[in-house]
Structure 1
Amino acid sequence: MTDTAGSAPLWDRSAAELAAGIRAKTFSATEVAKAFLARIEETNPALNALVDIRPEEALAQAAAADSAVAAGGDLPPLLGVPVSIKINTAQRGYASSHGVPAWAGAIAQGDAVCVAGLRAAGATLLGRSNSPAFAVRWFTGNDLHGKTLNPYDPGHTPGGSSGGAASSVAAGMTPIAQGNDIGGSVRFPAYCCGAVGLRPTVGLVSGMEPRGMEEFDAPLSFQTMAVHGTLGWTVDDVRLGLDAMISPDLNDPVGLPVRPSLSKPGGPVKVAVVRDAGVTKSHPAVDAAVDDAARWLAEAGHEVEEVELPLLGEAARLWSLLLYQELKTMMYEIDTFGDESVRVSLAASFDAAAQIWGEQPSLTDYIKGYARRGTLINRLQEFLGRDRIVLTPVCAEPPFEQDADLAGNDRVAELLTAQWPMQSVPVLGFPAISVPTGLRDGLPSGVQLIGGRFQEDLLLHVASAIEARAPRSRPDLSWAQGN
């Protein structure tokens, strides 16, 4: 049953190729699982991207997939395809540790709705991806599992908070990884590691988890900004992962009653290029990535024009008010259970936000902030309609140096400003995708595409045009030899 026709090793194939090969019996799900487990054994010791890997469970899932193929009949779309789950997301039988040593024994009794969707789609759940404690840094490391490295350059962040997911996808440990995003935690790691990362519209993928011993009253920003999304090596990988995770769920405060379909639109799209939204000028390497993407989309027949869209800058500033004010209400838990890096990073972030909103924003500021949010949502949706997307940088800087948020308040203020494209999207609840554009000075580069609400299909369509023209290569992991 071994595949001899394909030239790429199994770990370097797309999710669609793997699923099709398993269904056609070109190779087995067990062969696929063994190939990815071997790749994990080869690369993960240096990168520390995945934790709590259980080969026997992965092989048992793969054997069940092979039995399903042998039995015939309708087969789920991701049958036998390896997928990782983030350590802050409930997966039956695994700790939802959030990277906190005190919670290492917090074993989930059931799956989050999005994980149940991946399981129902036939995915082989292979490893948990690392994140910072409480998932509140753009860097990945914690006292429980240690630090995750960027496979392209260990001196630069793999991103956060889904840094383990992005690092593992780039290194070929899984073709698809689940992540979540409230301020760039899917899109920024994808950018840093040269992968694709999609943050869907709020409500498209259910954020509900099985009820634990204690209920968690999620702050309003978590309910209205946080989403589960997918990272993958290709746009189609991300499409397949998202399709499996879409989950109408009226138990979710922002859940949908019906499942929208992901179509594959054709024809030209209007592309509005936004360079800085009135916030900060980009690094030359970032500008060059935007130039490349805009040129490629024009070559693909899309209608590309440069525009000013200051509402995105205003939304980014609102993010630093609404999210950080609500995070302050959780500081007892963070101070009690979090590690030193999270405490230092958040203190500097609060200081940076105070430069915009003052040391103690008033209740009126907070209430008016949410009111303004509604107006900006209306304005952006009106601008986008159903046939326009926005092309922006992912970040105004190349991937940050490792642990730059621990380098002092001045540097953190720069990081916060540079991340305006990451912040502007969650506060408004729109979908966005990070797409790689190649390497610059040895580091991944990329762009962000923002679409109208529930227009993921349009984003994926345009992202594919960039992917078709961008140079891609897996990271050279020779630096990791002996680590």
Structure 2
Amino acid sequence: MDNTSPATEPWQLTAVEAAAALRSRTLSSVELVQSALDRIEATNPRINALADVRPEEALAQARAADERTVTGGDLGPLHGIPTSTKINTDQRGYATSHGVVALAGTNAEQDAACVAALRSAGAVLVGRSNAPAFSYRWFSTNDLHGRTVNPWAPDRTPGGSSGGASASLAAGMTQLAQGNDIGGSIRYPAACCGVVGIRPTVGRVSNWTAPAFVDTPAGRQQLVMPLTVQQCAVEGPLARTVADARLALRVMSTPDLRDPIGVPALPERPAPAELPVVTVVRGIGTVPNHPAVERAVDEAVRKLADAGHRIEELDGLPLLAEAARLWSLLIYEDFRPTMPAVEQVGDADVRASLAYSFAAAAGQWGPAPSLGDYIHGWSRRAALITELQELLGRERLLLTPVSAEPPFEQDADIASPERAAQLVAAQWPMAAVPILGLPAATVPSALVDGLPMSVQLIGGRFEEELVLDAAQAIEDRTPRLRPGL
């Protein structure tokens, strides 16, 4: 549905528009939050994007926000804005369930750093967004909260693992959503649902959360965070527009030395003298693109050229191919020690998905990669980061598909081992970026056969503003996409 008409209900406002209305007192936070809650009541039963919505608690936050407006208290950048948090991220007083029945009662005692940053900025936290069990799949279903569907097409995935976040935004339930990304879990859901997602540079947004402990026969022990989670996973925002994503990212970018790879201060990045060159990489020679994917890339290229960017096309980029292949080594080998726990408490779908994914990885690395393979993989990762950073600098961005396929059919990853391997191959743009630790955003560029289609923009380290500027150029030339709900 192409809808460019102005908002008539508060829930239809963007975060930037809502923030301006709240500050000018033409709208109250109670009115905005009540509109969001009404929208949740109207759409969430069909989409199942949000879990653990507590209306009275949300309205209490909104009333407190309005009191600050009246009394002249300090108003944060997200003052009064409805926002969701993900079920795998600590929020004080809510379960960090990971979509697992056995973890349904694990209420967090304090906020993760990214949630604390949103709360400190004035966001009203209205619900917990759904995800797959253990936030593993590119789909969003679990035995605890059920299946999230794509508001555009129920038979297609809303993406994963932040599928509840993307679906809730597309349906108008909230203005902003928090997500996290180690294999496309912000970027892919945003693309599937026609919203914007940005994965920041590793270390920009604090990944700190309170230590988790488990009781064992040997006593209480702290759970160890896998190396790939430390080095490749990020927290970041999803939003309806580029401007909203930019606002949320700035709020979440809080230097935090509790994070073992957090940066102590963000570097100053003055605007470059010229627009960066956009280098287009349509594939890495492993899988052909669906025609709808080519259409999305073509539209983005045309719009960026119209905005004044110089466009270059590359017939593949070997370092991206190697990074995507390394993802299948480093991520899965880090995940392997947790498999007994997954087998014990995970649902049948995530167990099947992981089994097929390990089989796909074995096709590239063999059934039992050695410690030498693993160590060499980390060494190659460092070399690839340097190589790509030297290529990009501040003068260049990469434009890639989001995936070689349109949004997958629901449960495609557990249809068969062969189909699962096809998905892993198709998702090379989602896999390569986390290994490299660079910022990347997905932004809609076309509506094809009733589905939103997006592209990915990749920048050099800490060049989020350049990435978002290019995404804005695409958004400015693309009619606003809204599902017909």
Pairs within 5 Å for 1:426-465: 426-465=434-473
Q: 1:265·1:461 contact (CA, 8 Å) conserved in 2?
A: no
Q: 2:299·2:446 contact (CA, 8 Å) conserved in 1?
A: no
Q: Which residue of 2 aligns with 1:9?
A: 9
Gaps of 5+ in 1: 1-5, 478-483
Structure 1's 149 and 380: CA in aligned 2 closer, same or farther, altered over 3 A?
same
Q: 1:266·1:461 contact (CA, 8 Å) conserved in 2?
A: no
Q: 1:10·1:35 contact (CA, 8 Å) conserved in 2?
A: yes
In structure 2, C-alpha distance between the alignment counterparts of 1:276 and 1:39, rounded to whole Å: 39
In structure 2, C-alpha distance between the alignment counterparts of 1:302 and 1:79, rounded to whole Å: 35
The answer to whether residue 344 in structure 2 is matched with residue 336 in structure 1 is: yes
Structure 1's 263 and 122: CA in aligned 2 closer, same or farther, altered over 3 A?
farther
Query: Match of 1:144, as an amino acid?
Result: L
Deviations 1:120-159 (A, max 9, x none): 0000001000000000100000000000000000000000
Structure 1's 386 and 282: CA in aligned 2 closer, same or farther, altered over 3 A?
same
Q: Which residue of 1 aligns with 2:313?
A: 306
Q: Which residue of 2 aligns with 1:282?
A: 289
In structure 2, C-alpha distance between the alignment counterparts of 1:350 and 1:266, rounded to whole Å: 46
Q: Which residue of 1 aligns with 2:63?
A: 63
Equivalent residue of 1:271, what SS?
A: strand
Deviations 1:364-399 (A, max 9, x none): 111111111111000000000012110000000000
Query: Match of 1:42, as an amino acid?
Result: A
Query: Match of 1:324, as an amino acid?
Result: Y
Deviations 1:92-140 (A, max 9, x none): 0000000011111000000000000000000000100000000010000
Q: Which residue of 1 aligns with 2:478?
A: 470
Gaps of 5+ in 2: 1-5, 215-221
Q: Which residue of 1 aligns with 2:79?
A: 79
Equivalent residue of 2:19, what SS?
A: helix
Pairs within 5 Å for 1:124-273: 124-214=124-214, 215-260=222-267, 267-273=274-280
Q: 1:198·1:434 contact (CA, 8 Å) conserved in 2?
A: yes
**1:372 paired residue among 366, 380, 386:** 380
In structure 1, C-alpha distance between the alignment counterparts of 2:79 and 2:300, rounded to whole Å: 34
In structure 2, C-alpha distance between the alignment counterparts of 1:469 and 1:147, rounded to whole Å: 34
Structure 1's 110 and 392: CA in aligned 2 closer, same or farther, altered over 3 A?
same
Per-residue deviation at 1:476? 1.1
Per-residue deviation at 1:262? 7.5
In structure 2, C-alpha distance between the alignment counterparts of 1:21 and 1:261, rounded to whole Å: 30
In structure 1, C-alpha distance between the alignment counterparts of 2:415 and 2:269, rounded to whole Å: 43
- Superposed CA RMSD: 1.3
Structure 1's 266 and 90: CA in aligned 2 closer, same or farther, altered over 3 A?
farther
Per-residue deviation at 1:234? 0.2
Per-residue deviation at 1:267? 4.6
In structure 2, C-alpha distance between the alignment counterparts of 1:263 and 1:114, rounded to whole Å: 25
Equivalent residue of 2:198, what SS?
A: strand
Figure out how many residues of one structure are paired with residues of the other and give that number.
Answer: 472
Q: 2:452·2:481 contact (CA, 8 Å) conserved in 1?
A: no
In structure 2, C-alpha distance between the alignment counterparts of 1:306 and 1:262, rounded to whole Å: 27
Per-residue deviation at 1:216? 2.1
Equivalent residue of 1:351, what SS?
A: helix
In structure 1, C-alpha distance between the alignment counterparts of 2:273 and 2:17, rounded to whole Å: 23
In structure 2, C-alpha distance between the alignment counterparts of 1:261 and 1:474, rounded to whole Å: 36
Query: Match of 2:453, as an amino acid?
Result: S
TM-score of the superposition, structure 2-length normalised? Answer: 0.95
Q: Which residue of 2 aligns with 1:400?
A: 408
**1:358 paired residue among 343, 363, 366:** 366
The answer to whether residue 21 in structure 2 is matched with residue 21 in structure 1 is: yes
Q: 1:289·1:446 contact (CA, 8 Å) conserved in 2?
A: yes
Equivalent residue of 2:114, what SS?
A: helix
In structure 2, C-alpha distance between the alignment counterparts of 1:381 and 1:95, rounded to whole Å: 39
Per-residue deviation at 1:71? 1.1
In structure 1, C-alpha distance between the alignment counterparts of 2:32 and 2:268, rounded to whole Å: 29
Per-residue deviation at 1:253? 1.3
Moved more, 422-431 or 255-264: 255-264
In structure 2, C-alpha distance between the alignment counterparts of 1:11 and 1:192, rounded to whole Å: 21
